[in-house]
Chains A and B, each alone.
Chain A
Amino acid sequence: MLQDRRVPFRASGYNPQTYGAISLLTLIATIALWQLAASQGWISTQFASSPEAILQSLRNLYASGELWEHLSASLQRLAIGWVIGTITGIIFGLLLGLFSIARSSGMALVSALFPIPKIALVPLFIIWFGIGEGSKIVTLVFGVFFPTVINTVAGVDAVPRGLIRMGQSFGLRPLSIVAKIVLPGALPSIFAGFRITTATAIVLLVAAEMIGAEHGIGAFVLQAGNLYATDDLLAGIVVLSLLGLCVSFVVGQLERVLLRWR
């Protein structure tokens, strides 16, 4: 005979949360463990330095003005290269997204050029544009341009046809349809591309600076490595990771403001 039983709850799990305190503690514990290992001599400071020494190195670099010298050179290249690559990428992406001829020829070129590892082109760009700023910025522009084009085209394709038909049915001008319907509709996809292109840009920046630059975080890290100055080398890497964090924070904020309708 069946007995009366309470219905058990079966839907627990598969719903992970992020607890801020645990995240923070993990980071702090990792750094503390590293410091402990270094000060106890478990690891060689010549190869891995220590958090304290890295901090000291950062302080010195800051006080001497060297930090800013390298960082400003890098930031400038990053900003110029990323902005040019992004703007041209969005413009080309819109053209490819909207016009059959542009799409047919443009997509063929983009598909052919996109898979090239951009770092491999740095020597070529140095031959074309010289060892100075030109080749570095062109490397960044090149690396940012293609993913931006691809994401913009995907974004344009994702704009519901019905919204464009609506615009046409109300007699909106073609430029208004592009500016007020197509572009905003493509924006979520374009922003998803920003996350990729900002990360790519930092990688290419460091690579280009390592190949031939006096200033810049990439150049600084390379010099420190040549001198076995692990403190400085890791200080440079800390700066780079902070740079990455800041950039993705800015992109996130921009996204929050511009896509708040979602």
Chain B
Amino acid sequence: MSDVALDALERRGIGLSVCAVSHAYRGLKALEGIDIEIPPGEVTVVVGPSGCGKSTLLGILGGLVAQEAGEVVLHGDPGADCLNPLTYVFQDFALLPWRSVAGNVSLVLEDHAMDKAARAARVAEVLALTGLTEFADAWPRQLSGGMRQRVGIARALAVRPAVLLMDEPLSALDAQTRDLLLDEFAALIARTGVTTVYVTHNLPEAVRLGHSIVVLGRRPGRVREIIRIDMPLAERRPDDTALMAIEQRLWALLRDDAAEAARELA
């Protein structure tokens, strides 16, 4: 990722408190009594077996799912240039196939008072940041999965988010692309210091990005453990023994639940 204009996305002190959040779908308990602090400027990773309610939790954080009980509180002032404090990056990218790359980014700016030139400049800036400049006029269908998710990132950055909410943003990609994008995410998050909630199944991703890793159990989804990693993102290497030990511990925590989830009907 290019370094241009990264400074425009300066660190913001926005945090979230999740207090006693519970949710059920037609009687099926998905989440129960979730209490999590999401500190400003940190990456909070959420891991857990299939169906434990990770996506539900992320939906509640961003106001896309109305929880049954409890509340989510946003702390701090996002600043005047923040157009959408809680901004998602989607697993399936959620790009409009009938808009070009630039058009998809521009979409989220068009409802805001902003003159045409300023909007075009903002679009160009985030496309440069994600290495998409030469694909500005391409249709989404012409892009590889990795490039599509870059558009998703560019679109999220365009609104100057206070919190990035990412639901398995790499899981639709092949392993190599995933590794490349993961490094780019880490660099971007480290440079901008944007508060991030990152849901994943992938434990190497979790230890690569997380300042704290929230492990959810299933039926109903409850917080089983919160693991902190204080090593700066820039210093984390895949072969770091401390990180590998944490990965092992996470796997030990998840193993039984995961096995049980795997035996169940989807």
A positions within 8 Å CB-CB of B? 162-163, 165-173, 176, 180-181, 184-185, 187, 259, 261-262
Contact = CB atoms under 8 A, between A and B. Distances in A.
Chain A to chain B: the 9 pairs with minimum beta-carbon distance, closest first: A166-B94, A170-B108, A261-B98, A184-B98, A169-B88, A162-B94, A261-B139, A171-B84, A173-B111
Contacts of B99: 261
20 contacts: A162-B90, A162-B94, A167-B107, A168-B64, A169-B63, A169-B64, A169-B84, A169-B86, A170-B84, A170-B87, A170-B107, A170-B155, A173-B111, A184-B98, A185-B96, A185-B98, A187-B98, A261-B97, A261-B98, A261-B99
B8 to A, nearest CB: 19
B96 A184 contact: yes
Nearest to B112: A171
Tell me if A's interface is mostly helix, strand, loop or mixed.
helix
A163 B159 contact: no
Nearest to A261: B98
Given A162-B92, A170-B159, 9 more contacts: A162-B94, A163-B96, A165-B94, A170-B107, A171-B83, A173-B111, A180-B107, A259-B98, A261-B139
B225 interface: no
Contacts of B141: 261-262
Interface string B87-124: 11010101011110000000110110000000000000
Contacts of A170: 84, 87, 107-108, 155, 159
Contacts of A167: 107
B51 interface: no
A171 B111 CA distance: 8
A173 B107 CA distance: 11
B16 to A, nearest CB: 15
B62 interface: yes
Interface residues of B, number: 23
Interface string B55-98: 00000001110000000000000000001101110101010111
A37 B111 CA distance: 68
Nearest to A170: B108
Contacts of A184: 96, 98
Given A166-B90, A261-B98, A172 B107 contact: yes
Contacts of A162: 90, 92, 94
Given A163-B96, A165-B94, A166-B90, A172 B108 contact: yes
B139 A166 contact: no
A105 to B, nearest CB: 26
A167 B90 CA distance: 12
Contacts of B111: 171-173, 176
Contact of A165 (B64, B96, B107, B110): B64
Contacts of A171: 83-84, 111
Interface in B179-234: none
A78 B114 CA distance: 43
A169 B65 CA distance: 11
Contacts of B108: 170, 172
Contacts of B110: 176, 180
Nearest to A187: B98
Nearest to B62: A169
Contacts of A173: 111
A166 B98 contact: no
A188 to B, nearest CB: 9
A180 B84 CA distance: 18
Contacts of B86: 169
* Most chain A CB atoms below 10 A, which of B84, B87, B99, B111: B111
Contacts of A166: 88, 90, 94
A252 B64 CA distance: 39
B97 A262 contact: yes
A186 to B, nearest CB: 11
Contacts of B139: 261
A166 B91 CA distance: 11
B158 to A, nearest CB: 9
